[in-house]
Chains A and B, each alone.
Chain A
Amino acid sequence: MSMTAGAGRGLRRVILGTTTAWLIAFTLLPVLIVVAVSLSEPRLGAPPFTPLFEWGEGVWPIFNGTIASYFTVTSDSLYVAAFVSSLRIAASSAMITLVIAYPMAYAIARSSDRARFALLMLVILPFWTSFLIRTYAWTGLLNTNGLINNTLMNLGVISQPLTLLHTEFAVHLGIVYSYLPFMVLPIYAVLERMDWTLIEAAQDLGARPLKAFFRVTLPLSLPGVFAGWLLVFIPALGEFIIPDLLGGPDTLMLGRVLWTEFFNNRDWPLASALAVLLLVIVLLSALLLVKALRRREAVS
């Protein structure tokens, strides 16, 4: 018995150790490098930034760090606008995703076992093709002579093609389309486990079905809603492909600004500062939601 317990403990150590080492090497270290780059100054050459520490005359290396990039990022209206519009687009598209995903998750959770499997497969299926290709396919649909405009023109609904592609609408569409399953699945998981006699109890106590939903079902499914929100809002915030392919020249999102700073302007410190700030925002919003969830769980 003690042998297996010892072996179990050993195995646990190996697993924990591997995981920790992995996270340090491939998550924490890269983040620290980005932070370090963000504190340095841009220059021409390779790498295109000044080293953070330099060896001088003394025993200790000289710290060359500067927060100039952070100053630029927070004072230049372009970057501030990029942050604001990223937050706005991510929030509104996450909201739209929620409004569409909740009824879907509800319907799947309430359907028969066989139908449930088929419906879940339909939700997950698009994931088996490339995200890039799926997003690119939308350009063909939304083009001025794309499928949607051609169909509407042929039906006589419109006489001039609509400008669908390269708009903020298209960005929303792309985000909602791409991230819908991330919202559906956590909400479904919560609803699937729900005790439906609670709804019967609510109705027995005089609540009409819609009222029972808002007083019982919805509050009890909030953990799933929070989880789904995080899974959509956070990646949407830093999304690059969707605004790049579907967004217009005036669609300002952090992912694109970051790209431009890195590859066009070769200002790595500035791009890194943007990335660090984005990370802080993501961590803060995740923390807030988790905290809200904890508080709910503590009281329920």
Chain B
Amino acid sequence: MMAASGPAGEEPVIRIEGVAKSFGGVSAVANVSLDIARGEFFCLVGASGSGKTTLLRLIAGFETPDSGQILIDGVDMSDRPPYARPVNMMFQSYALFPHLTVADNVAFGLEEERRPRAEIRDRVAAALEIFDMGSFAARKPHQLSGGQRQRVALARALVKNPKILLLDEPLAALDKKLRERAQLELVALRERVGITFVMVTHDQEEAMSMASRIALMRDGALCQVGSPRELYDAPQSRFAADFFGVANLFGGRVTKAGAAVDCTEVWSTLAVAGDCAQGADVTVMVRPEQVALAKERPAGPNVLAGTLANVVFLGNAYVCYVALETGKTVQTRLSPADMARLGKLDAGDRVFVSWEPSAARVLTS
């Protein structure tokens, strides 16, 4: 059987087949099918209540699916409790045992495997060394900083050599500076250990910067699965377009198949290049960095007139908000060089926004 949504070729390390789970009649995960390939850094992303954490807990075995099944390395996990699955989880709260030292926390899983004492000692020491925590072996979790706890939690999960590491919002408890460094470290760690990482996050930027593939979830279902690039450049829905990055969205009806969309929101017909059937209700999406700003009306299609409402300086770019006469606001993102070329601009100035037909995407849902 070919993978429905994974890279072709090798057998996927995780295969989720038609899995559904509801709590007290409320559906948390609805008929999800997904393949995750060996060695991927896979991100489950979505708003809270989208079912991403439930899906992760289903893989870990903390929840049992109402229907469907989960296979790990081709083996059905339906009858396997959490303690018998070849996966380990890093919890959002880290869930370090407060009554045990750092070394005993890391040794816990190996002791459950009844490994020889000498082997446990060596593997614990090695795992702590990887995470630079060797000198903290005798400390208790409450004597560690947030970043140190996070590394102990990683060491504890990885020391068992799982096939898959599950990460539930692993960076949520860290402050912003530390989080950015930890993002890079996690990606490097995955390359180093070579196993599959499945991470849950609500932060789209985090998912984009870390994942090899992302599954965007909404209301318990998969909204779109793809590489960060695919999700950004080619979102398949209004929801996906809005979730990843900033998008200018114009609702309208196709008046010429694959070429023109009549948008009442902007009182004009937009030229597009993409798949769309005559008469279909669609959304036209343009990223702010694809939108040009001019003081004089430029030639070509897709030119909208408006007044400059606001300019926000971000350091490496300017974001300009242009209010159209219809009340709709269009965002454009310009480099400082482009901004300098435009000359002096003040709020209230009459300006024109425009974009190439090929820069716009037509979203059918």
Contacts and interface: CB of A to CB of B under 8 A. Distances in A.
For chain A, what secondary structure do more than half of its interface residues adopt (helix, strand, loop), or is it mixed?
helix
B83 A197 contact: no
Interface string A186-217: 00000000010110111111111001000110
A85 B296 CA distance: 103
B88 interface: yes
A13 to B, nearest CB: 35
Given A200-B91, A300-B140, A205 B112 contact: yes
Contacts of A202: 97, 108
Given A205-B108, A205-B160, A206-B113, A220 B98 contact: yes
B303 to A, nearest CB: 56
B112 A211 contact: yes
A219 interface: yes
Interface residues on A, range: 20 to 34
A200 B166 CA distance: 13
Contacts of B157: 204
Given A201-B97, A300-B99, A206 B91 contact: no
Interface residues on B, range: 20 to 34
Interface in A281-300: 296, 299-300
Contacts, number: 64
A132 to B, nearest CB: 42
Contact of A300 (B82, B83, B98): B98
A200 B62 contact: yes
A211 B97 CA distance: 14
B82 A204 contact: yes
B274 interface: no
A197 B253 CA distance: 50
A208 B156 CA distance: 17
Nearest to B82: A203
Nearest to B166: A204
A207 B62 contact: no
Given A202-B108, A205-B112, A300-B140, A216 B97 contact: yes
Interface of B: 60, 62, 81-84, 87-89, 91, 93, 95-99, 108-109, 112-113, 140, 142, 156-157, 160
Given A200-B89, A202-B108, A300-B99, 7 more contacts: A197-B95, A198-B95, A204-B62, A204-B87, A206-B113, A215-B108, A300-B98
Q: Nearest 7 A-B pairs (CB), nearest first?
A: A206-B112, A205-B109, A201-B95, A300-B99, A203-B82, A197-B95, A204-B89
